[in-house]
A and B are shown apart, each in its own frame.
Chain A
């Protein structure tokens, strides 16, 4: 076993790596701090690229495939940069029954983007959620952090058009 903490240099000079290093240090460079560390990377950089996954794997002595497995298992982590605007459509049971599926389809078709992906111009990320806890407002969506309920297709498109 290598002596901890292992000196692994961040991939770039970027100051945000300081935050990531701090998280790892706080957990004593334990391999079970991987999720916590990935959280910090996601929050500081907005997404996880190959370099950051390699860095976390090396610094915490966790196999690469395990880091990748965790990063793709949880919806919180994204491997690609998020778009300028984010539109979350709740696909929970109540919202789905009230037509969230149709909303999703309309947006996906109009902006040519699959749920969970970002448009080619990097303007809009379309995200699905498994119940955001606003079932009374079904179908609900979150537009750049602002929750909106009882959405109709027309409402949604008006909101999205403003972002274009």
Chain B
């Protein structure tokens, strides 16, 4: 964005095609608008971008490093490459690492057939994992009256943390520990059912891309997620301020 706050129109090249974009847009937004496919897991329309999943990496001419499309703002005459062998290799490796980190077993998962991780793996052609699985031992928290938290399926995208903080305003969720010990927690790492600040709104469940958060008493086929209301809510919240 320009220093005086005015929005400019930039022209940039994505995969050799000329496109125009507003200066307040991210590379990811422009790519999606122009129907270039970029896989994402942590990005969700209506939430802030943190560039955590590393799946939206793109090549920008003149930059040595790959850049995450969701947190890179567009600039004039930018040349972006969204698909090539190097990017495909990195994206596949990232997905494989996500699979190896926790216990992702699609056949017995509540999100089977409506899971973003599963969908992306099929789309990117993952057929085996080249790194050893870690098989960590994680408990399942079913203390909440309506929802279930299963750390075994969590990919630490922190969508639940952000939706609870940014949209619901409760900040029940956060990430404890660091590195391989990191996991999502409610309040003081206590059972979800005992968290007084939880409003039981279910937004975290609806934004979870995998089977880590699910609704109780629903069959696998019924455990669908819907997050289309988020941009609407964000706009309404802005209106109020």
Contact = CB atoms under 8 A, between A and B. Distances in A.
A163 interface: no
Main secondary structure of the interface of A (DSSP, over half): helix
A109 to B, nearest CB: 21
The range of chain B's interface size is 10 to 19
Interface in A64-112: 64-69, 72-73
A152 B172 CA distance: 47
A108 to B, nearest CB: 17
Contacts of A114: none
Given A63-B171, A63-B197, A64-B197, A69 B188 contact: no
A73 B171 contact: no
A72 B189 CA distance: 10
B171 A69 contact: no
A38 B173 CA distance: 20
Nearest to B176: A72
A131 interface: no
Contacts of B172: 63, 65
A151 B54 CA distance: 41
B185 A53 contact: no
Nearest to B173: A65
A50 interface: yes
Interface in A12-65: 50, 53-54, 63-65
Contacts of B189: 68, 72
In terms of DSSP, what is the predominant structure of the interface of chain B?
A: loop
Contact of A72 (B165, B171, B177, B197): B177
Contacts of B171: 63, 65-66
Q: Which of B176, B177, B186 has the most CB of A within 10 A?
A: B176
B188 A64 contact: yes
A50 B188 CA distance: 7
A73 B177 CA distance: 5
A54 B174 contact: no
B218 interface: no
Contacts of B177: 72-73
Interface in B119-176: 165, 170-176
B197 A68 contact: no
A155 B3 CA distance: 63
B32 to A, nearest CB: 31
A162 B87 CA distance: 57
Contacts of A65: 171-174, 185-188
Contacts of B174: 63, 65-66, 68-69
Contact of B187 (A68, A72, A73): A68
A73 B120 CA distance: 30
Nearest to A50: B188
Top 4 A-B residue pairs of the complex, sorted by shortest distance between their CB atoms? A65-B174, A63-B171, A69-B174, A72-B176
Interface of A: 50, 53-54, 63-69, 72-73
10 contacts: A50-B188, A64-B187, A65-B173, A65-B185, A65-B187, A68-B174, A68-B188, A68-B189, A72-B176, A72-B177
